[in-house]
């Protein structure tokens, strides 16, 4: 049964044929050493060249084999990129083999670079964790029995409104932040005459505009959201 070479073996065929032409007594082990490949690959290449008389054909181009596939392989090994559809397959196999090797090398380099960056980030965090910090002492709160509840409802962080669609009333993350901080400062200013033992700040009441990363309500209604 004729030997059908793999893509990798086809990429070595040109060099193997040239070695066989230069040294008719070339052995399998000699071919293996010259191509830096395994014994099985060297054996398959040697048998393929011998069975198809590729050395003789290469020396006498006028005596190309009648088999179109054998002819295409010989032409390909000799550097002739023209010919039949099978020649095209051989060229594409070689091209894809090179592209895959290049992509594999690129992916490996990118992975190595990312690993280096991650190690550097971990080392920086470890160094940061070793820094001794001094925090100011917090004075215990007076026991007054008073609790300040700061509840700012309907902040809708993440909502996006275009002024020409909302009667000149735009809204985005920056406007939401400014409105929220203004309300917070107002409430604290009004309560500054009292001494509170505890402060409670409920979260909810449409603090966020959407119900998740899908920019929609809990019922699935689509929302216009600021993606910053």
Average pLDDT value over all residues in the chain? 80
Let me know: does 129 contact 157? Beta carbons within 8 Å. no
Contacts of 122 (CB under 8 A, 6+ apart): none
pLDDT at 60: 54
Question: Which tops the pLDDT comparison, 79 or 139?
Answer: 139
Longest dimension (CA), the chain: 109
Let me know: does 47 contact 9? Beta carbons within 8 Å. no
Question: Which tops the pLDDT comparison, 178 or 132?
Answer: 178
pLDDT at 71: 58
pLDDT at 184: 93
pLDDT at 65 over 50: no
| Model-wide pTM > 0.85 | no
Q: Which helix (H) or strand (E) holds 147?
A: strand 147-149
Report pLDDT digits (tens) over 141-155: 788 889 999 999 999
pLDDT at 63 over 80: no
Question: Which tops the pLDDT comparison, 72 or 156?
Answer: 156
Q: Which of 103, 107, 71 is nearest to 87 (CA)?
A: 71
Report pLDDT digits (tens) over 192-217: 989 898 999 998 888 888 888 888 88
């Amino acid at each position: 049964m004729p030997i059908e070479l793999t893509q990798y073996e086809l990429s070595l065929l040109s060099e193997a044929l040239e070695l066989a032409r230069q040294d008719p007594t070339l052995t399998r082990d000699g071919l293996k050493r010259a191509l830096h490949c395994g014994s099985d690959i060297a054996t398959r290449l040697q048998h393929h060249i011998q069975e198809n008389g590729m050395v003789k054909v290469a020396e006498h181009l006028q005596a190309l084999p009648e088999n179109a596939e054998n002819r295409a392989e010989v032409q390909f090994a000799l550097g002739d990129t023209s010919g039949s559809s099978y020649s095209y397959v051989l060229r594409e196999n070689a091209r894809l083999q090179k592209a895959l090797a290049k992509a594999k090398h690129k992916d490996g380099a990118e992975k190595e670079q990312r690993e280096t960056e991650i190690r550097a980030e971990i080392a920086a965090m470890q160094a940061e964790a070793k820094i001794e910090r001094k925090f100011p002492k917090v004075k215990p709160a007076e026991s007054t029995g008073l609790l300040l509840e700061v509840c700012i409802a309907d902040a809708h962080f993440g909502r996006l409104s275009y002024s020409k669609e909302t009667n000149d009333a735009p809204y985005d993350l920056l406007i939401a932040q400014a409105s929220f901080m203004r309300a917070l400062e107002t409430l604290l200013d009004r309560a500054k005459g009292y001494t509170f033992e505890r402060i409670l700040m409920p979260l909810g009441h449409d603090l966020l505009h959407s119900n998740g990363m899908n920019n929609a309500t809990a019922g699935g209604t689509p929302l216009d959201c600021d993606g910053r």
